[in-house]
């Protein structure tokens, strides 16, 4: 956790249902006005723009960023997920604007913060501390973090949930889904109901800080024998459903290691990849939010500090099996089996194979060629990414082939993809094949 720097601004969180609905209404009106205005300009210039082109403009991305940053909660969380998961697909100008939702969250005014803590700890809550810094050291979609010291000298990080966020999860997700449907970006026959239900379930779990504290304690137990990781210690007395208190762990942002020496970058990222394999095949439990802010680096001993456990989920045995089979096919560089296993796992559907088989095979060939080498893989060399983007976007244009994989697989894949993005950020060079082979050998099918 770092000191406050370069965030958004102090803004009250709309906590009532009507005020949050009005926020979405304002966003929809702003986007609609932009579409009409831009459409008229381009038609006058003799162009015939598509609706997607009019919607996906930097101006509308800025509107989305500002409004969701104000609302926070599930609305902002979904925006953050889009910015991270689509980093190699969206145009750079849109990616940079959406990324502001990860880096510049707004924070509660002191009066709203005081009211939230009075509701949890009582009117005399300040008497519990030698000092409590009202200026947050971190702010995110569901809560903000403050530094404090208890009367007995314990230095704590205290996460305070934004008022009304937990109660607004269902309506926020539905409103964001409504905006997507209204935009015409999604085919009418694409069933996103299972994904929305899973998103709501996970967000409800993330809003339960008692549950997160339990997951944090369990992770500390799982990693007790690994000095390469550090997990904060839970302060149970001060923790409630809306407040999470833990030991303050000093560290630097993990992405700042991009300036470190190559050996350090390789070692740290290799350890992150090994953690993912342990979560997938050993723990059977995974923290599925790969946001860089959830990981810090402690220079004193080289440990990676794990900070956020709200998105921790069990990994079902069938998901473990699907990844094991897919990885084994990849290690064997067997494109036919890779396609078969991807189909069985639900990553793709038969329509993609039937309609876009050649493009899919080229994607498989690119990935297999890059990832199956028994040699260090340079995550900083993104030369193959434009090739994947070109083939992937070509497939995405065919809406009849669109398909949403099972939600449980998507959560795991989000962690895998986000970890790869960290590798690219660090410019790490790691032998992925040897890590995967060791994981499959150490934790075979059970």
- Catalytic residue positions? 289
Q: What is the DSSP string of 392-411?
A: HHHHHT-GGG-----HHHHH
**Is residue 158 within 8 Å of residue 236, measured between CB atoms?**
no
Distance, CA of 153 to chain centre? 34
**Is residue 37 within 8 Å of residue 181, measured between CB atoms?**
no
Distance, CA of 316 to chain centre? 20
Residue whose structure tokens are 């007790």:
224
Residue 91 makes CB contacts below 8 A (sequence gap 6+) with 56
Task: Report the alpha-carbon distance of residue 292 to residue 49 in Å, rounded.
Answer: 36
Q: What share of the chain is helix, strand, coil (3-state, %, to 5)?
A: 60, 10, 30
- CB atoms under 10 Å from CB of 78, counted, come to 21
Q: Which pair of structure tokens corresponds to residue 413?
A: 């894949």
**Is residue 405 within 8 Å of residue 413, measured between CB atoms?**
yes
Task: Report the alpha-carbon distance of residue 430 to residue 296 in Å, rounded.
Answer: 20
Which residues on neighbouring strands pair with residue 159, listed in sequence order? 145, 244
Q: Which pair of structure tokens corresponds to residue 278?
A: 């342990």
E strand or H helix that includes residue 306: strand 303-306
Q: Which pair of structure tokens corresponds to residue 194?
A: 């299972």
Q: What is the DSSP letter of 390?
A: H
């Amino acid at each position: 956790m770092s000191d406050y720097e370069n965030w958004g601004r102090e803004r009250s969180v709309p906590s009532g249902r009507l005020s949050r609905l009005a926020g979405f209404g304002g966003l929809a009106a702003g986007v609609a006005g932009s579409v009409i205005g831009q459409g008229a300009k381009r038609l006058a210039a003799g162009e015939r723009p598509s609706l997607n082109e009019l919607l996906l403009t930097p101006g509308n991305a800025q509107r989305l960023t500002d409004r969701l940053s104000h609302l926070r909660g599930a609305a902002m969380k979904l925006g953050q997920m889009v910015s991270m998961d689509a980093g190699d697909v969206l145009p750079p100008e849109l990616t940079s604007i959406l990324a502001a939702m990860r880096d510049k969250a707004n924070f509660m005014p002191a009066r709203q913060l005081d009211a939230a803590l009075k509701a949890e700890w009582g009117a005399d809550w300040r008497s519990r501390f030698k000092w409590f810094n009202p200026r947050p050291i971190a702010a995110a979609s569901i809560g903000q973090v403050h530094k404090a010291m208890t009367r007995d000298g314990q230095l704590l990080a205290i996460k305070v949930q934004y008022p009304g966020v937990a109660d607004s999860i269902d309506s926020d997700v539905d409103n964001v889904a409504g905006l997507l449907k209204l935009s015409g970006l999604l085919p009418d026959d694409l069933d996103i109901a299972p994904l929305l239900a899973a998103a709501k379930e996970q967000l409800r779990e993330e809003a339960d800080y008692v549950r997160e504290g339990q997951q944090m304690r369990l992770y500390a137990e799982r990693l007790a024998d690994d000095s390469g990781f550090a997990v904060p210690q839970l302060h149970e007395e001060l923790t409630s459903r809306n407040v999470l208190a833990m030991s303050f762990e000093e560290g630097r942002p993990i992405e700042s290691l991009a300036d470190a020496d190559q050996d350090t970058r390789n070692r740290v990222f290799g350890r992150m990849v090994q953690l993912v394999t342990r979560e997938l095949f050993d723990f059977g439990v995974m923290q599925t939010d790969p946001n860089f802010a959830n990981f810090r680096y402690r220079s004193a001993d080289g440990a990676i500090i794990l900070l956020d456990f709200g998105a921790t989920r069990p990994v079902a045995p069938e998901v473990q099996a699907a990844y094991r089979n897919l990885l084994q096919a990849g290690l064997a560089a067997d494109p036919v089996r890779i396609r078969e296993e991807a189909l069985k796992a639900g990553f793709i559907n038969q329509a993609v194979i039937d309609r876009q088989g050649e493009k899919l095979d080229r994607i498989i060939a690119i990935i297999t060629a890059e990832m199956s080498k028994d040699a260090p893989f340079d995550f900083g060399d993104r030369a193959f990414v434009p090739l994947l983007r070109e083939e992937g976007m070509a497939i995405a244009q065919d809406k009849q082939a669109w398909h949403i994989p099972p939600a449980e697989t998507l959560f795991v894949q989000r962690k895998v993809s986000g970890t790869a993005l960290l590798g690219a950020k660090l410019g790490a060079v790691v032998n992925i094949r040897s890590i995967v082979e060791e994981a499959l050998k150490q934790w075979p099918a059970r």
